[in-house]
Structure 1
Amino acid sequence: MTTTGALQLTGSGVVRTRVRRRDLRPDDVAVAVSHCGVCGTDLHAWHRVRSGGEPVVPGHEATGSVVAVGEAVTSLAVGEAVAVGNIVDSCGACAMCRAGQENFCERFPTLTYGGRDRLDGSTTQGLWSGLVVVREAFVHPLPAGLDPAGAAPLLCAGVTVWEPLRALGVGPGTEVAVSGVGGLGHLAVRLAAALGARVTVLTRTAAKAGQARALGAHEVVVSTDEAALATCRGRFDVVLDTAPRAHDPAPLLRLLALDGALCVLGALERLEVDVLDLLVGRKRLTSGGSGGLPATRELLAFCAEHGITAQVEVLPAARAAEALERLQRGDVRYRFVLDTGELAHP
């Protein structure tokens, strides 16, 4: 067993600490973490800890390089650039796992932090750290040409929007609207446009129009402008709702064309829906969470082919608390990524 530097969320703030990493099992890979994103989930964890919850090492979207492999590992080698996402194990046997949807494992996937190791029962510690040990199957080769900092958020934010885009058949001829242009939304715009869809951004802020078009949006509609929103009624095949707070879905459902789908990805809270808003037009309400292993690797390959990474602001690990505070205020365009390389050193 070895130890590594890490950042821990505590009631008094973000503190530097050391965490233990297990000795390599036969199918394990040790990864030196170089970059890790700051996700809304990390912000929620910070709130829980400050409200009396147990301290935690967060982080679940990271890139780095292989520094050691177990004796049974065949697909990865020391020195290889890799990425790790928000699950690090699953049962591998249930219907969801067999379908390549390990993120929906019926016995619950092992989360990268705050999860329970399936063999020794220990609590998993996250990727705001210098080193992590993960099963080979859950370590993804990072395609050449992808910037490690910009690629890190693909492992959570990216695959969270990628799976529904693929499941809903988005491609040439599809009309897609993206509501909210943040960590999830900006990647949804880039990916949908690269898939060949016509993309409209729905935003409450007219000043974001230039940013949205720079990401690949063909049109921008200010959602607080009722007249402008009315012109979009019945138009979209898919609406991806990435707004981070609970809100009434009815205005978005009215924008859907016949058999259109509203996919709620940002606010995973209680949602009240009038069935008549679904009935007229045979509309669908759906959601998604993270991604399975096949979708994650498909996404990484697609992003390498199309030159897509997240738009990030990289901060040294020592400024993690600042990243959380600014994320809380919405002061980010569009994802913070921590340079975690320094955490490998005492």
Structure 2
Amino acid sequence: MTVNAYAAPAGDRPFEPLQIDRRAVGPRDVQIEIAYCGVCHSDLHTARGEWGHTHYPCVPGHEIVGKVSAVGGDVAKFTVGQTVGVGCLVDSCGHCSSCNEGLENYCENGWTGTYDGKTDDAPGYTMGGYSARIVVNERFVLSISHPEEQLAAVAPLLCAGITTYSPLRNWGAGPGKKVGIVGIGGLGHMGVKLAHAMGAHTVAFTSTAAKRQDALDLGADEVVVSRDADEMAAHTGTFDLIIDSVAASHDLDAYTALLKRDGTLVMLGVPEHPHPSPNVGSLIFGRKAIAGSLIGGLPETQEMLDFCAEKGIVSDVEMIQIQQIDEAYDRMLKSDVRYRFVIDSASLAEA
């Protein structure tokens, strides 16, 4: 079937309308009419060819919320009319140890991204949520129980939400723990909300004092301006966990110094060039760790969505029409968004 989409025809050209084909609904498939799609920095990097090897035309989008419009004959979990979501992946091998543990995001044979991933469907690579409809295997479809009026703000949970929830959950954020969130952007603002909701004493780190009140409003118990040496020093050796959402290269020693013995600094962003080499002595003498974390598997993503629905948590979003996507990308590069753009997919009908 042919559906409306918006695509980057090349890395140096603006987006334009495109008709794309979606596969017929198979026995295990769910067809979704997309209502909203969040805009992620990964979309920008891929569409503009900054990570290399992008297939064009490129239809990004992996923060998808919509309604089920058809299901395959073997689908038992979903029904027509149900509100559902699709995140960053739409397939994995299904049989490696990671997949068997519900950690498809660490599939040892390579998972398939929601866009620009290898697939048997035409044209040979996946096309994502900047489109009117998508067909996805039921294993990679998620149930959404937030109220209708919050659905646009739910979309970024499918990437920004799970990317921060997973390390908070894995490293035991909760009552009695002191947790730091570095960077108050698309990822960081969700980290603050989630850490606070989990009951941790939550400290937000920002490079600018202008975001201090914003961070407090998001739920931070304290805010530290990272460029203020005295504010940083006051927290030396006190954190159980620090989640670093900053993708730019920076000094990690400033944060490992703030960890308790056995504390962990978890990195979420891949910088444009390597971070300066950390002081290994600080790690050795405090039994501290620097770790990484990548989105989450399907069971954990469903758990995150249910937790957010229970706690009333959504992303802070700015709605755009699909025709504004190039402007949105330019604004993202300037950090001119509080804190995620979301596409109103109804605008595709006018494209």
* TM-score (ref. length: structure 1): 0.96
Q: Using the alignment, how far apart are the partners of 2:322 and 2:197 within structure 1? A: 32
Indicate whether 1:164 and 2:167 are aligned: yes
Indicate which of 216, 235, 258 corresponds to 1:255: 258
SS at structure 1 position matched to 2:247: coil
Q: How does 1:99-118 map to 2 (within 5 A)?
A: 99-117=101-119
1:194-246 CA deviation, whole Å, 9 max, x = no partner? 00000011111111111000000000111101111111110100001011211
Name structure 1 gaps, 5 residues minimum: none
Give the share of equivalent positions with the same residue, in percent. 42
Q: Residue 190 of structure 1 contacts residue 216 of structure 1 at CA under 8 Å; is this kept in 2?
A: yes
1:154-182 residue CA offsets vs partner (Å, 9 max, x unmatched): 00010001110010011000000111000
Q: Give 2:328's aligned residue.
A: 323
2:265 match: secondary structure: strand
CA–CA distance in structure 1, aligned partners of residues 41 and 235 of structure 2: 30
The structure 1 residue matched to 2:127, chosen from 125, 128, 131, is 125
TM-score, normalised relative to structure 2: 0.94
RMSD after superposition:
1.8
Counterpart residue type for residue 192 of structure 1:
A
Contact residue 23 and residue 121 of structure 2 kept, 8 A: no
- Structure 1 CA distance for aligned equivalents of residues 80 and 146 of structure 2: 16
Q: Who is 1:13 aligned against?
A: 14
Change (3 A) 1:188 1:77: same
Cα distance, 1:157–1:45 mapped onto 2, change above 3 Å: same
Q: Look up the equivalent residue of 2:135 and give its one-letter code.
A: V
Displacement of 1:267: 3.1
The aligned runs of 1:236-251 (5 Å cut-off) are: 236-251=239-254
What is the alpha-carbon distance in structure 1 between the residues aligned to residue 211 and residue 122 of structure 2? 48
Report the residue type matching 2:165 in the other structure: W
Could you tell me which runs of 5 or more consecutive residues in structure 2 were left unpaired when the two chains were aligned.
Answer: none
Contact conserved, 1:114 with 1:125, CA < 8 A, in 2? yes
Tell me the distance in 1 between the aligned counterparts of 2:123 and 2:317: 35
Q: Residue 137 of structure 1 aligns with which residue?
A: 139
Query: Equivalent residue of 2:15, what SS?
Result: strand
Q: 1-side partners of 2:52 and 2:172: how far apart?
A: 42
| Counterpart Cα distance in 2 of 1:344 and 1:174 | 48
**CA distance in structure 1 between the partners assigned to 2:280 and 2:99 by the alignment:** 32
Does the CA-based 8 Å contact 2:64-2:155 persist in structure 1?
yes
Q: 1:178 to 1:119 in 2, by over 3 A?
A: same
Q: Is residue 270 of structure 1 aligned with residue 269 of structure 2? A: no
Q: How does 1:227-242 map to 2 (within 5 A)?
A: 227-242=230-245
Q: Which moved more, 1:260-269 or 1:297-306?
A: 260-269
Are 1:69 and 2:71 counterparts?
yes
The SS at the match of 1:4 is: strand
| Alignment partners' CA distance in 1, 2:53 and 2:153 | 33
